Structure formats: C-alpha cells, structure tokens
Structure 1
C-alpha cells in the first residue's frame, strides 16, 4: 500500500508540474513573448547547446551530459545567473519509468549540476530552484526523443529579416519588427 501511495504522489507531481511554469514573461519593451507559450521549449538560441524553457522572469536551460544534467538560469540577454546565488533539486523520470530526486550542486560559476547514476536515460526533468528567496520551477519533457540542438525543437518559422528571438513553432508575427513569420527553408 505504501508503494502505491508513493507512486500516486509521484504521478501527481509529474501531472501538476506544468502548472508551475505557466507564468508569462516579457522581452524588450515589456511586451509578452508571443512566439511560444510559457513553459514550452523556447525559440531562443540555447547558449550552452541544451533545451531552453521559460521560467518567469528568467529562462532555464538544461544540458544533458553523460551521467549529469547541467542547469543554467538565464537572465536578460541569455546571461547566466551566478550559481552561488542558486540552490535546488531536479526530479527525474527515466526511460524505464523510475523517478528520483537529485540535489543540484554548483558546477562552476554559472551553472548547477545533478549527478545521475551510470547509464541513466532521462525522459522528464522537473527543476526546482531558489534564487534570491524566490521559487522557480520548470519542466523539461521528451528529453529522450532525440539529440538536442542549439535551437528550440520545432522552430519551423522565422522572421524574413532574421530578427533575434523570432523563431517559432507556429505562424505568427515577429515580436521585434512585426513582420509575418515565414516557413524556414
């Protein structure tokens, strides 16, 4: 019965975690980011080659390495927030549906690291950070779906003027110049 209760609690946390990252953020000029929904894979360039998600008022980048997850909290202009001001955990769901919670440790001056058991393949990661006394939570899904690029997965549209931050997974307008986004060649 205790195992069922733990499994039920874990399932509930994974189900509710997307709600933690639903706050919308703004870019230059205070305009809300219209090219991607809050908490989704973000159309910004990933400065460290990982996956970027919105995490109001920041962005968070997760980079997978063998046996480790590197977490970068990104402020304006994708500058990393110093790791000495951060603490947190990451709840990991593996490809074999096991879950574990790992404490993040400083991995340098600009990121935190979660050390994982050998040969762990991560499917989902829910990162919970504390920065300046504020809680910041973000969920990364489908991490086992393929190689991660330096840009967001599914960014098929861009501004014809190549404005920074215009990449999107769906049609719309450029948040900088207002031109209609076009399908990437």
Structure 2
C-alpha cells in the first residue's frame, strides 16, 4: 500500500515537469530559449518540415522522395550555416528495418539519401555543430507523409479546404483565405 502511494506521489510530482517541456508556439510569437530536447513545434517551419528543439538550436527535418534534408536553425527559426557541421541520421522504416546514413552539407542544409523503396517511420538526427553535439527524434513520419506534409505542399488553407495545398503562398481557390505554412 505504501508503495502505491509513493508511486502516485512521484507521478504527480513529475507530471508538471513533463507538461512544461511540451509547448506550442503561435505564429509570429517571440523567440525564446528552450530547455526541452526534441520538443515538437507547432509553429512555422521555414522549409515545410518538422521542427524539434536541440539544445539552444532547432533542427528541421524535411522529407523528399529519396532523401531527407536537415536544417540547423537558431532560436528565431533562421537557417544557420552547415559547412562545418557533421552528423548522421538513424532511420527506421515502416517495415522495421533500421539504417544509419551520413549527413552531408548541401548549401544551407544537410542531406541524407534514403534506402531505395523505404518509407520512413522514425528518424533520429545527430549532428555536431558549433562545438555542440545535438540530436532530435522525429516520429510518425509515415503518417505525416500520408497527410501530405511534404516539401511540395508547404502551404494550406487555415479552413483546410480540399485542394488548397500549395508549394507557395497565395489564396485558397475555394474560400479565398490566405494560405498559411503548414505546422
């Protein structure tokens, strides 16, 4: 009986800590420091991918047909130079196969080739940048791909009108509202 009370108390004490580590941002919100590694971001992603916190930085992962692009971002989601950044990405496919692929610099981002015919479920990005070792975990990538969250459709109608997805800003063809970047 005492053990169950202890576990309940420990769970209740830990709950506020874990909840405070998970938060969302509103578009246009002021930049701030982050403490929670790998936290999900519901605000803008500059390249149409998924953003996670990694120390004082952010990492954005963008899926393409045969590769993934990884962007290193500052606290205001601006891209940082990656010419001296090294790293790898561990990939888990929907078939349960894992592989680790080296990330190579390509302009303002890093690129990793995907194994032929694989559909990603999870990617764990590990990089060394500016003297810091950073990592971020990206899960449910297969669900995001099915929902149309690819680099080719980075904008959508805030009312989620069918056929509103676009690769550039504009207006919804059905309701006329301004398209917004996908979160």
Separation in structure 1 between the aligned mates of residue 125 and residue 98 of structure 2, nearest angstrom? 13
Separation in structure 1 between the aligned mates of residue 65 and residue 34 of structure 2, nearest angstrom? 36
Secondary structure, aligned partner of 1:76: coil
Separation in structure 2 between the aligned mates of residue 72 and residue 141 of structure 1, nearest angstrom? 17
- Kindly indicate whether structure 1 or structure 2 has the higher relative contact order, using CA contacts under 8 Å at least 6 residues apart: 1
Separation in structure 2 between the aligned mates of residue 148 and residue 53 of structure 1, nearest angstrom? 16
Deviation at 1:81? 1.2
TM-score of the two chains, using structure 1 as the length reference = 0.60
Q: Which runs of 4+ in 1 moved over 3 A?
A: 27-33
State the aligned residue count: 124
Aligned alpha-carbon RMSD (Å): 2.7
Separation in structure 1 between the aligned mates of residue 109 and residue 70 of structure 2, nearest angstrom? 6
Deviation at 1:85? 2.3
Task: Give ranges in structure 1 of 5+ residues lacking alignment.
Answer: 1-21, 152-185
Counterpart in the other structure of 1:57: 56
Counterpart in the other structure of 1:148: 149
Secondary structure, aligned partner of 2:83: helix
> Quick one: which of 134, 137, 141 aligns to 2:135?
137
TM-score of the two chains, using structure 2 as the length reference = 0.60
1:28-177 paired onto structure 2 within 5 Å: 38-108=37-107, 110-145=108-143, 146=146, 147-148=148-149, 150=154
User: Greater Rg, structure 1 or structure 2?
Assistant: 2
Separation in structure 1 between the aligned mates of residue 46 and residue 33 of structure 2, nearest angstrom? 23
Task: Give ranges in structure 2 of 5+ residues lacking alignment.
Answer: 1-20, 24-28, 156-183
